[in-house]
A and B are shown apart, each in its own frame.
Chain A
Amino acid sequence: MPVFRDEAVVLRTHKLGEADRIVTLLTRNHGQVRAVAKGVRKTTSRLGARVEPFSYVDVMFATSKSLHIISQVESINSFGSQISDNYPKWTAGQAMLETAQRLTIEEHEPALQQFLLLIGGLKSLVTDDHDPGLILDAFILRSLSVAGYAPSFANCARCGTDGPHRAFSPSAGGMVCSSCRPPGAAAPRANTVELMSALLTGDWEVADQANKPERTESRSLTAAYLSWHLDRQLRSLRLVERT
């Protein structure tokens, strides 16, 4: 059986049969890959702890016509065990994994940027750099940019007129001027737009200073923007606990 080796983050797992799991991973060079991990639900399995969600691993796949098989795994970093004792972090992390999974649906389609973004996001979550909710929103906005859906926070997303503008519309692609503004567009406060723009560009000095109302508004606009592009809401998003 031909094999290939890659670095990967485990996005999610499904039970298969008596003791196996189907593992969905985001790899560095092969995009999203699904593979069977055999016997991992037995308490004697050495593989089990290494193929849990959030695990950053060096993995060897044996390829086959149907599903690949995970033949070897070495741990690079087990982010999961560092956040499972903190509920807000863990739920934010789950939404990051689901975002990465939904935005890299093509199997074996390389998604290096998305992979690096996920590693960076998880590291940030583990090291307590910033509020988990802000880390999540920054990750969502940047993931969407990598996927080709970068929101515009300065110029009008439709006609390109210089900002600042007052209205935000997920379907239009971000902030829109008063003549392009579609019915039902949101009218966020200026500070919220500044926060979202800072999250997208990684300006944490600005983002960390944001007050609760801006964080709350930014969270719901980010969620609206994401679900517009995914065509539906993330399942984990409503379960993320914000502090």
Chain B
Amino acid sequence: MYEGVIGSLIERLGKLPGIGPKSAQRIAFWILEAEKQDIDDLANSIVEAKQKIRFCNVCFNVSEEDLCRICRDPRRDLKIICAVEESKDVIAIERTREFKGRYHVLGGAISPIDGVGPDDLRIKELLKRLADGVVVEVIVATDPNLEGEATATYLTRLLLPMGVSVSRLASGLPVGGDLEYADEVTLGRAFEGRRRIQ
């Protein structure tokens, strides 16, 4: 066990997501051996990010300003919203370059067993965005697991009566894989979501 400054550094690093005690110790010693400038830059980046980054007023994506880069962009289609669980998901979908609308970051998925209900997510804020009738489609892009599915079920039930069309990302087979290795749930979903070839 390490005491004092190094001990508290290891303890703090160990609280980072995905970092166990062993990794925390490795990172702590890497920090001790690294160039002072590199560590100052790292520390400053952390402080700066925490000070400057907040949530977009419209979509709740992380942003340095009141409106995020995507909500500020006049080329984005105002008629379509893609609802995702986390800001990380915005980045993943942006990488596809497939989606030209705007986002809505819900802040997680409904998970009763963890005590997380609909009121703990930014669902009311999503409904507010639909009030003026500009948005005609909502794509529900929650995670393809049960909480994500159930959250999509809940959202769909709220959204359909508002007159918007609602779609869900297709679940299917990973590109580059062999069919025989697919699990039965994924393969079943892929059958449900099959498309007709024109």
User: Could you tell me which A residues sit within 8 Å of B by CB distance?
Assistant: 12, 17-18, 43-44, 46-50, 52-54, 75, 78, 80-81, 84-87, 90-91, 94-95, 97-98, 235-236, 238-240
Q: Considering the chains assembled together, what is the distance between the CA atoms of A84 and B145 in angstroms?
A: 10
Give the Cβ gap from A165 to chain B, nearest Cβ, in Å: 34
Q: Is the CB of A17 within 8 A of B18?
A: yes
Q: Considering the chains assembled together, what is the distance between the CA atoms of A157 and B112 in angstroms?
A: 33
Q: Which of B113, B157, B181, B188 neighbours the largest number of chain A CB atoms within 10 Å of its CB?
A: B113
Q: Is the CB of A46 within 8 A of B115?
A: no
Q: Considering the chains assembled together, what is the distance between the CA atoms of A94 and B177 in angstroms?
A: 33
In B81-136, which residues have CB < 8 Å from any A CB? Answer: 110-115, 117
Known: A235-B115, A236-B113. A54 touches B183 (CB 8 A): no
26 of the cross-chain contacts (CB-CB < 8 Å) are A17-B20, A18-B18, A47-B183, A52-B145, A52-B146, A53-B113, A53-B146, A54-B146, A78-B185, A81-B189, A84-B146, A84-B149, A85-B149, A87-B150, A87-B153, A90-B146, A90-B150, A94-B111, A97-B113, A98-B112, A235-B112, A235-B114, A236-B112, A238-B117, A239-B110, A239-B112
Query: Does any Cβ of A come within 8 Å of B154's Cβ?
Result: yes
B183: chain A residues within 8 A (beta carbon): 46-50, 75
Q: Which residue of B lies closest to A10 (CB)?
A: B146
Give the Cβ gap from A226 to chain B, nearest Cβ, in Å: 15
Cross-interface CB contact of B182 among A46, A86, A95, cutoff 8 Å:
A46
Cross-interface CB contact of B185 among A49, A85, A238, cutoff 8 Å:
A49
B185: chain A residues within 8 A (beta carbon): 49-50, 52, 75, 78, 81
Give the Cβ gap from B8 to chain A, nearest Cβ, in Å: 23
Q: Which residue of A lies closest to B157 (CB)?
A: A87
Q: Considering the chains assembled together, what is the distance between the CA atoms of A18 and B177 in angstroms?
A: 22
Query: Does any Cβ of A come within 8 Å of B186's Cβ?
Result: yes
Q: Is the CB of A75 within 8 A of B115?
A: no
Q: Which residue of B lies closest to A85 (CB)?
A: B153
Q: Considering the chains assembled together, what is the distance between the CA atoms of A91 and B113 in angstroms?
A: 9
Query: Does any Cβ of A come within 8 Å of B174's Cβ?
Result: yes
B117: chain A residues within 8 A (beta carbon): 238-239
Query: Does any Cβ of A come within 8 Å of B184's Cβ?
Result: yes
B18: chain A residues within 8 A (beta carbon): 17-18
Give the Cβ gap from B5 to chain A, nearest Cβ, in Å: 27
A47: chain B residues within 8 A (beta carbon): 183
Nearest 6 CB-CB pairs, A to B?
Answer: A236-B112, A49-B185, A84-B149, A235-B115, A239-B112, A94-B112
Q: Could you list 4 further interchain pairs (A-B, Cβ under 8 angstroms) beyond the known A48-B145, A84-B153, A95-B112?
A: A44-B177, A53-B113, A78-B185, A80-B146
Q: Considering the chains assembled together, what is the distance between the CA atoms of A236 and B150 in angstroms?
A: 14
Q: Is the CB of B181 within 8 A of A46?
A: yes
B110: chain A residues within 8 A (beta carbon): 239
B177: chain A residues within 8 A (beta carbon): 44
A87: chain B residues within 8 A (beta carbon): 150, 153-154, 157
Q: Which residue of B lies closest to A15 (CB)?
A: B17
Q: Is the CB of A235 within 8 A of B113?
A: yes
B188: chain A residues within 8 A (beta carbon): 81
Q: Considering the chains assembled together, what is the distance between the CA atoms of A241 and B113 in angstroms?
A: 13
Q: Which residue of A lies closest to B115 (CB)?
A: A235
Digitize B1-42: 1 where CB-to-A-CB distance is under 8 Å, 0 elsewhere: 000000000000000001010000000000000000000000
Q: Is the CB of A49 within 8 A of B186?
A: yes
Give the Cβ gap from B161 to chain A, nearest Cβ, in Å: 14
A240: chain B residues within 8 A (beta carbon): 112
Give the Cβ gap from B72 to chain A, nearest Cβ, in Å: 31
A97: chain B residues within 8 A (beta carbon): 113
Q: Considering the chains assembled together, what is the distance between the CA atoms of A54 and B113 in angstroms?
A: 12
Give the Cβ gap from A189 to chain B, nearest Cβ, in Å: 29
Q: Is the CB of A12 within 8 A of B113?
A: yes
Give the Cβ gap from B196 to chain A, nearest Cβ, in Å: 23
A75: chain B residues within 8 A (beta carbon): 183-185
Q: Considering the chains assembled together, what is the distance between the CA atoms of A18 and B150 in angstroms?
A: 24
